[in-house]
């Protein structure tokens, strides 16, 4: 566990005045470490920094969580099965965590992921997280036009001069995020920027079936009916095809074919939040097709071949999502 000095209150600049009346009254900066990225993966640690309306730290909290399964990428989060064996189950800490989230906007780096993992854990516990809105710090940094080389947390930290002491430890990542969110929030308020808030909808689709081994992510087929979700129109023009070896660019049209190890809805949400246009079919305008089975003969893959549309797998796509270039002439 981190030394409490690592969880000290961040150094904040004075907030602008007047403050926008339509900004939230409080925030919960969240980071979770998990056994993986798929629907059956579990949380192994969680941290929350409670901030007031202007980003000042009110409290912080951290806990390990026993996932009741293989801990996954220990080489990333450092939490072994022995360390987690005596930790509380998520159901045991769900109430306390809910109290720290209640009435606040959830803030996270790639917030759709942290929210989805929390929502599924609450669904397993036959409950629901008291969160109505989330704010992604990646989206906020893009709205602010911060001159970042990429959208990794370490780059955002470096921009604001925040020292990251232990990457992929939930408490330190949450601290770093709190320290970087506050000046971003002040910059947004000073510029009269509308915060990129998104609604949080409880998730009911989850699995308790663990993966067979470390590093293996099972895929999921749609076995039941799911209401269609109408996504907002992409605000960026289509910049054209993805160039292999290059970056994704906001406005690119991305289509998916076949099974994905990450829940398809989560993957599409990540693409949308990054500024990509999620397409339901492949046409001459499609920038990229993502599939884990490029040799199959689905209609999308067949069309992609006929149009010479670039095709990459899910792993490569998720790597590219970490560093999506801003739309040109924006």
pLDDT at position 224 is: 31
Nearest to 262 by CA among 106, 133, 67, 117: 117
CB 43 within 8 A of CB 32: yes
Q: Provide, for the chain, the percentages of residues in helix, strand and coil under a 3-state DSSP scheme, each rounded to the nearest 5.
A: 30, 15, 50
Sheet holding 57-64, edge to edge: 57-64, 43-52, 26-34, 105-108, 133-136, 197-199
pLDDT at position 10 is: 53
pLDDT of the chain, 330 residues: tens digit per residue: 454 445 554 555 567 778 999 999 999 999 999 998 777 889 999 999 999 999 999 999 999 999 999 998 898 899 999 999 999 999 999 999 999 999 999 999 988 889 989 999 999 999 999 999 999 998 899 889 999 887 789 999 999 999 999 989 999 999 999 999 999 999 999 999 999 898 887 765 555 655 443 333 333 333 333 334 567 789 999 999 999 888 999 999 999 988 776 667 778 888 888 899 999 999 999 999 998 888 877 889 999 999 999 999 887 888 788 788 988 865
Dihedral sign from CA coordinates of 161, 173, 107, 330: positive
Strands 26-34 and 43-52, bridge-based pairing: antiparallel
Nearest to 69 by CA among 90, 100, 99: 90
- Side-chain-side CA neighbours of residue 269 (13 Å): 19
Nearest to 77 by CA among 170, 212, 11: 170
Nearest to 43 by CA among 142, 170, 171: 170
pLDDT at position 226 is: 36
pLDDT at position 47 is: 98
Compute the distance between CA of residue 49 and CA of residue 108 in angstroms, rounded to an integer.
11
Per-residue b or e along 82-102, where b marks 16 or more CB atoms closer than 10 Å to that residue's CB: ebbeebeebeebbeebbebbe
Nearest to 318 by CA among 277, 278, 279, 261: 261
Cα→Cα distances 49→93, 208, 219, 231, Å: 16, 29, 34, 30
Per-residue DSSP letter, 3: -
């Amino acid at each position: 566990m981190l030394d409490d000095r690592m969880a000290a209150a961040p150094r904040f600049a004075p907030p602008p005045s007047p403050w926008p009346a339509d900004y939230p009254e409080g925030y919960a900066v969240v980071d979770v470490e998990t056994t993986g990225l798929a629907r059956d993966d579990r949380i192994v640690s969680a941290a929350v920094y409670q901030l007031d309306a202007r980003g000042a730290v009110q409290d912080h909290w951290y806990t390990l969580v026993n996932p009741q399964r293989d801990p996954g990428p220990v080489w990333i989060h450092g939490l072994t099965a022995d360390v987690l064996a005596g930790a509380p189950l998520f159901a045991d800490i769900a109430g306390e965590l809910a109290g720290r989230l209640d009435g606040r906007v959830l803030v996270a780096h790639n917030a759709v992921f942290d929210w989805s993992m929390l929502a599924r854990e609450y669904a397993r516990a036959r409950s629901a997280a008291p969160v109505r809105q989330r704010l992604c710090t990646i989206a906020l940094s893009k709205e602010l036009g911060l001159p970042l080389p990429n959208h990794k947390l370490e780059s955002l930290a470096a921009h604001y001069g925040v020292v990251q002491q232990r990457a992929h430890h939930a408490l330190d990542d949450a601290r770093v995020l709190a320290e970087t969110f506050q000046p971003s929030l002040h910059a947004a308020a000073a510029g009269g920027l509308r915060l990129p808030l998104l609604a949080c909808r409880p998730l009911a689709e989850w699995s308790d079936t663990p993966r067979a081994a470390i590093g293996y992510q099972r895929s999921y087929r749609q076995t039941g009916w799911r209401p269609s979700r109408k996504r907002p129109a992409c605000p960026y023009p289509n910049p054209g095809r993805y160039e292999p070896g290059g970056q994704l660019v906001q406005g690119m049209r991305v289509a998916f074919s076949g099974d994905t190890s990450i829940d398809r809805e989560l993957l599409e949400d990540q693409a949308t939040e990054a500024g990509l246009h999620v397409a339901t079919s492949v046409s001459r305008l499609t920038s990229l097709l993502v599939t884990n089975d490029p040799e199959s003969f689905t209609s999308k893959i067949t069309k992609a071949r006929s149009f010479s549309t670039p095709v990459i797998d899910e792993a490569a796509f998720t790597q590219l999502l970490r560093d999506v270039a801003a739309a040109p002439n924006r």
